[in-house]
Amino acid sequence: MTESMECLRVEAWDGRLHRASVPVPEVGSTDVLVEVEATGVGRTVHKYVNGGMGDDPDLLPRIPGHELVGTVVEAGEAVTGLDVGSRVTAYFHVGCGHCRYCQAALDPLCANHGGHVGVELDGGFAEYARLPARLAIPIPADVDPVAATTIADAVATPYHVADQRAAIRPGDAVAVLGAGGGVGVHMLQVARCFGGTVTAVDLDDRKLDACRDLGAEHVVNVAGQAPNEALAETGVEFDAVVDFTADTALLEAAVDHLAPRGRLVCLASHSGDEVGVETKALVRGEVDVRGSRYCSKAELRAAADLVAAGDVEPVVSEVVGFDGVADLLDAVVDNDLVGRGAMTPT
């Protein structure tokens, strides 16, 4: 194995990525070394490199990229259950493993949360990545590695929403707000796997066309009209609304269109933003407003199975090498992509 590798790293929490040649990481007794095949490029990475998930200068330099897919090429002597040659992805919340939340498979809520792959630990914008073995999750080897970059977040997060937070059941009417984005376009597919009938809501007809092709029964373009009026045109009362926009006007309109016992699940957030919900509406309709944060490791594995079975079609609309990542991140932030982007270490 080579002693050095190419990577992209953050040298200050200022949004800029620097190409560098660095030593291949040494593996500890409980680590694995992964040869990276592809890594997702999404909005969370942009947040990471701008210091939005932690800006401690002592963490620098740092290799970002949490949605990595690759093959285990070395395992520490204490590692069991992961063999050299295994295809893995990263579970990117670093839980302690011992608190009441971790032991309930709620690692993202860990009482001693250790941060994230790509911030506190180096990620996948590199030729190799070292991971604690407990964060290396096996995935089916026959899934294309670029397509597989969607599993760890863009499919697994919706799986948790559908199964636990929105509790989607057969026959439920589901609205996905921001349905053409990197997670939304997979949320609508996972919702359908759980038996939901999906209304896709977005600002871009091109993205909504893609949503229709992926099985959305209704599409709603809320650009240029009041959200309440746009949702009313569907004539649907929603059993579940899943939000990826953090648009307060759209969220408040969504509450007005919830069916009795409907669930509004928020996954996007902006500091200081608030959603006004009348207590009368909560009581009369027994509606719920909930948040959702990532998934369990078991749910990540279940998401991988959906992709491997062909039940969810990964949507990765642009793939670049190291030198294209900065421009691709700009495109993600500008909402130019349908679905996700990815990089391969070239």
Is the pLDDT at 263 greater than 90? The verdict is yes
Give the pLDDT score at 280.
Answer: 79
For residue range 102-160, list pLDDT tens digits in order. Answer: 999 999 999 999 999 999 999 999 999 999 999 999 999 999 999 999 999 999 999 99
Residue 284's pLDDT is 85
What pLDDT digit, counting tens, does each position of 6-53 carry?
A: 999 999 999 999 999 999 999 999 999 999 999 999 999 999 999 988
Residue 217 has pLDDT above 90, yes or no: yes
Instruction: Give 204's pLDDT tier (boundaries 50, 70, 90).
Output: very high
User: Each residue of 163-202: pLDDT tens digit?
Assistant: 999 999 999 999 999 999 999 999 999 999 999 999 999 9
Whether the CB-CB separation of 177 and 201 falls below 8 Å is answered with yes
Using DSSP, state whether 204 is helix, strand or coil. Answer: coil
Q: Where are the domains of the chain?
A: 4-150+314-343, 154-291
Q: How many CA atoms lie within 13 A of 62 on its CB side?
A: 29
pLDDT for res 278: 75
- What integer is the mean pLDDT of 257-274? 88
The pLDDT of residue 279 = 81
Could you tell me where the DSSP H helices lie in the chain? 43-49, 145-148, 156-160, 184-193, 205-213, 227-232, 248-256, 279-285, 297-308, 325-333
Q: Give first-to-last CA distance, the chain, whole Å.
A: 17
Query: Are the CB atoms for 31 and 318 separated by under 8 Å?
Result: no
Residue 1 has pLDDT above 80, yes or no: no
CA torsion angle 204 304 329 252 (round to 10): 40
Q: Give 2's pLDDT tier (boundaries 50, 70, 90).
A: confident
pLDDT of residue 114: 95
**225 pLDDT exceeds 80?**
yes
pLDDT tops 80 at residue 244: yes
Instruction: Give the CATH H-level superfamily of domain 4-150+314-343.
Output: Medium-chain alcohol dehydrogenases, catalytic domain (3.90.180.10)
What is the C-alpha to C-alpha distance for residues 164 and 173, in angstroms, rounded to an integer?
A: 16
For residue range 268-314, list pLDDT tens digits in order.
987 667 777 778 778 888 999 999 999 999 999 999 999 999 999 99
Nearest-CA neighbor of 133 among 97, 100, 102? 97
pLDDT tens-place string over residues 322-339? 999 999 999 999 989 999
Longest dimension (CA), the chain: 65
SS3 content of the chain, % helix, strand, coil (to 5): 30, 25, 45
pLDDT over 90 (residue 82): yes
Separation of alpha carbons 259 and 262, rounded Å: 5
Specify the fold of 154-291.
Rossmann fold (3.40.50)
